[in-house]
Amino acid sequence: MDAEAGSDPTTVVNARDLGRLPLAAGGETRCGVLLRSDAPYVGDSPPTGLTWPPSTVVDLRDSAEAGRLLVAWPDTVRWVGNPVFSGARMDRLIQANVVDLYADMVRGSASRLVGALNQFDNGGSTLVHCAAGKDRTGVVIAIALLLAGVETDAIIADYQRTGNAIAEIFARMQSRGRLPAGAAVTDPVFRTPREAVELVIDHVGGGSDGAWAWVEKNGGDVQRLARWVTLFTGDAAA
């Protein structure tokens, strides 16, 4: 589901299923396995067109950031709090250069990014989200797609699709008091530059042994992740 003008403000506006992405080895990823979104809030209605509720939710915010709007998922959902960094404050990030922010994540928070991957569900659907579903989510998803062997251009295109939803993401966060006074949708942190996700792809996948070696070096459970990749891609990645 992509956010469009007039979409329901009481549900996530930057949500999509990562199925049907092309694999470099041929074939495509499976639907209903990996989802991404902006933050669900208390009182939201279920989004349409997605596997919902997901089997596992990986929340990349810290507890203070989520605050009183933290969703109480049904007992059938495994919720995992896996903050990429602690003390995230939009008033400090609002003017941040997105490329620099991503460089800091892959260099300084690598083990936390990989920790999120280690929580992916091997038997059902996994939803990954942060606040806007753009930066922390974008980096974790890009790494997951690298592991799955998704074509590079498709990884970049998926990341930049969030740009179509920025206005609605901003309005939704603002209406729930998630933004500092004076914040504007044109502030640097709301951009989706191609260079940012390319930095992640190059840093994680550019070594001689590729993304798998980077993930293992930073604490990845490679056997578990290999099973997840098989679930996500089927025989194409076997």
Mean pLDDT across the stretch 56-66? 91
Which of 205, 195, 168 shows the shortest CA–CA distance to 37?
Answer: 168
Q: How many residues does the chain have?
A: 238
| Distance, CA of 196 to CA of 191 (rounded, Å) | 10
pLDDT winner (highest mean) among 64-78, 139-153, 170-184? 139-153
CB neighbours (10 Å) of residue 83?
Answer: 21
Sequence-ordered strand ranges (E) for 73-138: 78-81, 126-129
Helix (H, G, I), strand (E, B) or coil at 118: coil
Which pLDDT belongs to residue 181? Answer: 87
CB neighbours (10 Å) of residue 152?
Answer: 16
Where residue 238 falls among pLDDT bands split at 50, 70, 90?
very low
- Every domain of the chain and the residues it spans: 16-225
Taking 50 as the threshold, does the pLDDT of residue 4 lie above it?
Answer: no
Q: Is 27 left (phi over 0), alpha (psi -120 to 50) or beta?
A: left
| pTM (two decimals) | 0.93
**Any idea which fold 16-225 has?**
Protein-Tyrosine Phosphatase; Chain A (3.90.190)
For residue 56, the surrounding DSSP H or E stretch is strand 56-59
Query: Are the C-beta atoms of residues 236 and 23 closer than 8 Å to each other?
Result: yes
Taking 80 as the threshold, does the pLDDT of residue 102 lie above it?
Answer: yes
Residues 112-153 have pLDDT tens digits of 999 999 999 999 999 999 999 999 999 999 999 999 999 999
Which pLDDT belongs to residue 1? Answer: 36
Taking 60 as the threshold, does the pLDDT of residue 7 lie above it?
Answer: no
